[in-house]
Amino acid sequence: MATNAAKELLALIDTWKHEVSGANPSVLTQRGTSTRLGDSLWKNELAAVRLLLEIEAFIEAEEDTHEYAEFVNELRHFVFVPEQGWAQGPVKLRGSTRLGLVQLGKLMTHSPARSLSLTPLQIEAIQEALDECEKILDPVTVGQDYGLQHLREVIRHLKQLLEGDDVDFEAVRAASYEAVGLVAIHARDLPTEKRDRLASAVWSVIVPFASGTAAGASGNLISAALSGILQIGA
């Protein structure tokens, strides 16, 4: 791991204490800075998703994955809050979950760096998902939206990174997460069908970086959550 995802996630969560004058406290006001869901909300939420995926990938590389099952499930539900609408009251991280993040952070600090790489099949799957993104983001769709234009540039950069025999795992992962963030922030005004297709395609891009978790409960929850996040601002 290039970063300590557990420590970073805990530090991010500790910043989620925003209050908006004249607005009822909610998940939205807690994690953003305005009632109109400024970019800070999306950047914060997508950073939490990225860190959650890195935590799960780290845990899956450990031998006793089952010992973390309840802890990971609590983190998932805290990040996505599937039990309630985001306009409802803010949620708090349980003390036991916070302690689990602290302990996991210490473990990650003292764990040897792992050699991370993509298999040929994973590279092919990412390339196919990027092709689908480009088809959805035709020139008419992008128009004058700078965010969507930048998304197309990130996609082109990703395709270049995947060329050749020596693929830089960290560079591809970083650009992939940037693409997810751009979709969450800038795709809200797209027609519903196109927005949902783009959400599905961009999540396919990051599946390899979630290790096996993307095929299980976390992946399903994440996919549903992105769709819901995009619809909030629609």
Lookup result for tokens 């950047």? 43
How far is Cα 54 from Cα 7, in angstroms, rounded to an integer?
A: 12
Q: What is the pTM of this model?
A: 0.66
Q: How far apart are CA 97 and CA 150, in angstroms?
A: 37
Looking at residue 22, its amino acid is: G
C-alpha closest to that of 133 among 103, 156, 100: 156
Q: Above 80 in pLDDT, residue 135?
A: yes
> How many percent of the chain have pLDDT more than 70?
76
Q: Give the number of other Cβ atoms within 10 Å of residue 135's Cβ.
A: 12
Tokens of 45: 């939420």
Is residue 222 classed exposed, middle or buried when 0-12, 13-18 and 19+ CB atoms within 10 A define those classes? buried
Which residue bears the tokens 């970063």? 3
Give the range among 7-16, 26-35, 48-57 with minimum mean pLDDT. 26-35
Residue 96 — pLDDT band, cuts 50, 70, 90? very high
Residue with the bigger pLDDT between 229 and 28: it is 28
**Predicted confidence band of residue 200 (pLDDT cuts 50, 70, 90):** confident
Q: CB of 162 within 8 A of CB of 172?
A: yes
**Tokens 């297709």 found at:** 197
| pLDDT above 90: residue 131 | yes
Q: Which residues lie closer than 8 Å to 26 by C-beta, 6 or more apart?
A: 86, 87, 88, 89, 90
DSSP assignment of 179-220 equals HHHHHHHH-TTS-HHHHHHHHHHHHHHHGGGGGGGGGSHHHH
Among candidates 32, 125, 12, 19, which has minimal Cα distance to 75? 12
